[in-house]
Structure formats: structure tokens, C-alpha cells
Structure 1
Amino acid sequence: MPTTTQLFVTWGQLFALFLFFFYSFDLSYEFILSRLPHLLGLGLKSGFLMGAALTVFICAVSIFASTILALVAALARLSRNGMALGISTFYISFFRGTPLLLQILLVYLGLPQIGVVLDPIPAAIIALSLCYGAYMAEIFRAGIQAIPAGQSEAARALGLRGSQIMRLVILPQAIRLIIPPTGNQFIAMLKDSSLVSVLGAWELMYMSRTHGRAEFKYMEMLISAALIYWILSVGFEIVQSRIEKKYGKGIDVNHV
């Protein structure tokens, strides 16, 4: 049997076992179907996004912001400027060394102490961006350092300046090494965005808990939320695989 066929058969069997496991819980499928539009965010609450739609929005903005933060922090981490190095290492150390939930609460409850009051969604985006920017900064740094020094020396011999070398020579090669682990961080962010529910934002986890509590249908809503998160994660994985195919899953830096 071809490998691809075996793969799909195995997935089908495991998924069937997965569904049978949940079927044994005697769930109320009518209740799930009635609440599914709310979990997906197909409707608007007072004109605002909610449910899975809000979760995707928070993640999309956080992904963009964290990527910029990561690149800046990685370049500062590689800088010979003592102040830039100090700021970047302190930032990376703090946000990698403290729990994300604590960071979310510090942003939401701490900033008002200095006069900066944020709504739950902006606070969540800031916390997620800062946290994942720190993790991704180390990924970016490792990718940049993996490019042989000879590449920079050759570019410098051609008269390119430092910024041009980084933009035209180093980063285009490093991106092939950076994409796979960065994609994993994005998927992790999607799941960690459930922590935003503690702020009262109407995202997927908050909606599932609220509707489950209303009629004591916790398992129905939690399982539904789990499946939605899973489907969204699969979507991210598909996008990641397409990007990897476009840029290449890796690069042999010894033959560049």
C-alpha cells in the first residue's frame, strides 16, 4: 500500500476512534449546533468580532507585531552596541522567563498604574506580541548566525554596506531556516490566545465557557472549542507548508 494511502487510512481510523470517544459522553448535539455560530463568530456582538473570528484577528495582528519585534530584537542581540545588546537580552530573558498568563495580567492590570488604560483586546495583542517576539528573536538570531561568515565577507568585498549585506545577502538565506520553527510559534500562539479569556474578551474560549456555563453543557462547548482550535491549527499548518515549499524547507549553507 502506498505511503500516502496508509497515511490517510491511519488518520481516518484515528479520527473515527476520536469521534467514538466523544460519542460515549452522550453529548447534546442539538445544543452544539445551536451554539456553533456563536463559537465561530459568524454573528457580531454590538458590531464587534467574537468567538473564533476574534481569536484569528488577535493572532493575525500579534503575528505581524511579534515578527517585527523579533527581527529588531535579533539584530540588537547581534549588535556590538552595548546598550542595544543590553535592552534586547533583558527583553528576551524576561519574556521567555515568565508565564504568558502573568504577562497578560501585568499588561492589562499594570499599565493602568502609570495612567495607560487598555481594553482587553489591545492588552492581549501587546502581551502576545511581546512574549512571542522574545521567543522568535532567538529563532531569528540562530538563523542569521547559521549563514557562513564568508557570505558577509564576499558581499563586503563587493562594496556593500552592513545594512545592505543584511537585507540583500543574509536575511534572504536565513529566512529558509527561520520559517519552520517560526510557523510552530504561530500555531502555539493560536492555542495560547485562549488565555485572553481571563480578560473577558469575547474570543473562542470565553464564548465556549460562557455558553457551557449557561446551561451546564460544559463538555459540549469545550469539545466544540477543541475541534475549532484544531481546525484552525491545521489551517496554519497548511499555510506554513505552502510557504516552506516556496522558500525551501532548508538551505545547505555550505553550498550557497
Structure 2
Amino acid sequence: MPFQAQVTVIWVELLALFAAFCWSFSLSYSFMFDRAPILLGLELRDGFIQGAALTLFICAVSIAISTVIALAAALARLSDSGPAFGVATFYTSFFRGTPLLLQTMLIYLGLPQLGLVIDAIPAGIIALSLCYGAYMAEIFRAGILAVPRGQTEAALSLGLKQAEVTWLVVLPQAMRLIIPPTGNQFIAMLKDSSLVSVMGVWEIMFLARTHGRAEFKYMEMLIVAALIYWAMSAVFELVQARIEKRFGKGVSAR
């Protein structure tokens, strides 16, 4: 049997076992189907998105901000400026060395004590952006350092400025190494976005707990939430694979 066919058969068998496992618990499937559109974000709450739609919004904004932060921190760590290097290392050390939940609570509950009140959704976006920006900064830095020094020297010898070398020569080559681990960070961020539920944000996990508690059907709602997260992660993986394939064109495997 071809390799791909073997993999397909295994997946089908495992999915069947998972379905049989769930079926053995006498779950209320009508309740699951009734609440699934709410968790998917197909219904608005007071005119605003909720569920998976809100989760994707939070992740999309956090991905954009964290990417900018990561690039800035990586370039600062590679610069000859002492203050820039110091700020970048302090930032990455703190946000990599403390739990994301703690960071979220510091921003949402701690800052109001200092007179700075931030709503739950912006607080969650800030926490996710700062936390994952710190992790991705190390990925960016490693990718940039992996570009042969000769590429930079050759570009400088042609009269290009250092900024032009960075943007036109180094970063395009580094992207081939940066994208795979960065894509994994984005998928992890998608799942860690569930932590914003502790602030009362109406995303997937908050809705799953709320509806599960109301009818004491936690298992049903948690299974629906798990399937939604799984589906969204699978889509992220497909997008990541397409991007990797595009940036990998012209690079032969060693």
C-alpha cells in the first residue's frame, strides 16, 4: 500500500475510534449542534463578534503586532548600540521568563491600580503580542545570523547601505529559515488565546464554559471547543505549508 494511503487509513481509523469514544458517553449531541454556531461566532452578541470569530480577530491583530516587535527586538540584539541591546535583552528575558497568564493579569488587573485602565480585548492582544514577540525575536535573530556573512560583505562592497543590505539581502534569505518556527508560534498563539477567557472575553473557551455550566454539559461544550481549535490549527498549518513552499522555491534539499 502506498505511503499516503497508509496515512489516510490510519487517520480514518483514529477518527473512528475518537467518534466511538465520544459516542460511548451518551452525550447530548442535539445540544452540541445547537450551541456550535455560537462557539463558531456565527451569531453576534450585542452587535459584536464572539466565539471563533473573536478568537481569530485577536490572533490576527496579535500576529501583526508581535511580528513587528520581534523584528525590532531581533535587530536591536544584533546592533552595536548598547542601549538598544540592553532594552531588547531585558524585554526578551522578562516575557520569556514569566507565564503568559501572569502577563495578562498584570496588564488587565495590575495597570488599573496605576491609573491605566485597558479593556479586556486590548489587554489580551497586548499580552499575546508582547509574549510571542519575545519568543519570535529569538527566531528572527537566529534566522538572520544563519545568512552567510559573505552575503552582507558582498552587498556592502557594491555600495549598498547597511539598512538596504538588511532589507534587500539578509531578511529575504532569512525568511526561509524563520517561517517554519514562526508558523508554529502562530499556531501556539491561537491556542493560548484561550487564556483571555479569564478576563471575560467572549471567545471560544469562555462560551464553552458558560454554556456548559448553564446546562451542566461541560463535556459536550469542551468537545465542540476542541474540534473548533483543531480545525483552525489545521487551516493555519495549511497556510504555513503554502508559504514555506513559496519561499523555498529555488532551494534544493541537502
1:69 alignment partner in structure 2? 69
Alpha-carbon deviation of 1:16?
A: 0.9
Aligned residue pairs: how many? 254
Q: Amino acid of the residue matched to residue 92 of structure 1?
A: T
Alpha-carbon deviation of 1:249?
A: 8.0
Alpha-carbon deviation of 1:31?
A: 0.5
Q: Which moves more between the two structures, 194-203 or 110-119? A: 110-119
1:83 alignment partner in structure 2? 83
Residues 84-99 of structure 1: pairs in structure 2 closer than 5 A: 84-99=84-99
Q: Deviations over 1:3-33 (max 9, x none)?
A: 1111111111111111111111211001101
1:155 alignment partner in structure 2? 155
Q: Amino acid of the residue matched to residue 182 of structure 2?
A: T
Residues 88-167 of structure 1: pairs in structure 2 closer than 5 A: 88-167=88-167
Return the alpha-carbon distance in structure 1 between the equivalents of residues 236 and 172 of structure 2.
22
Q: Deviations over 1:59-84 (max 9, x none)?
A: 01000100000000000011110000
Alpha-carbon deviation of 1:114?
A: 2.5
Instruction: Give runs of ≥4 in structure 1 deviating > 3 Å.
Output: 249-252
1:50 aligns with 2:38: no
Return the alpha-carbon distance in structure 2 between the equivalents of residues 78 and 247 of structure 1.
24
Return the alpha-carbon distance in structure 2 between the equivalents of residues 4 and 72 of structure 1.
42
TM-score (norm 1): 0.97
Specify the SS of the correspondent of 1:59.
Answer: helix
Q: Amino acid of the residue matched to residue 189 of structure 1?
A: M
1:208 alignment partner in structure 2? 208
1:194 aligns with 2:199: no
Q: Deviations over 1:69-126 (max 9, x none)?
A: 0000000011110000000000000000000000000010122123221111000000
Taking only aligned residues, the RMSD between alpha carbons, in angstroms, comes to 1.5
1:225 aligns with 2:205: no
Q: Amino acid of the residue matched to residue 172 of structure 1?
A: P
Structure 2: unaligned runs, 5 residues or longer:
none
TM-score (norm 2): 0.97
Return the alpha-carbon distance in structure 2 between the equivalents of residues 84 and 69 of structure 1.
13
Return the alpha-carbon distance in structure 1 between the equivalents of residues 123 and 250 of structure 2.
36
Q: Amino acid of the residue matched to residue 55 of structure 1?
A: T
Structure 1: unaligned runs, 5 residues or longer:
none
Specify the SS of the correspondent of 1:147.
Answer: coil
Q: Amino acid of the residue matched to residue 243 of structure 2?
A: I
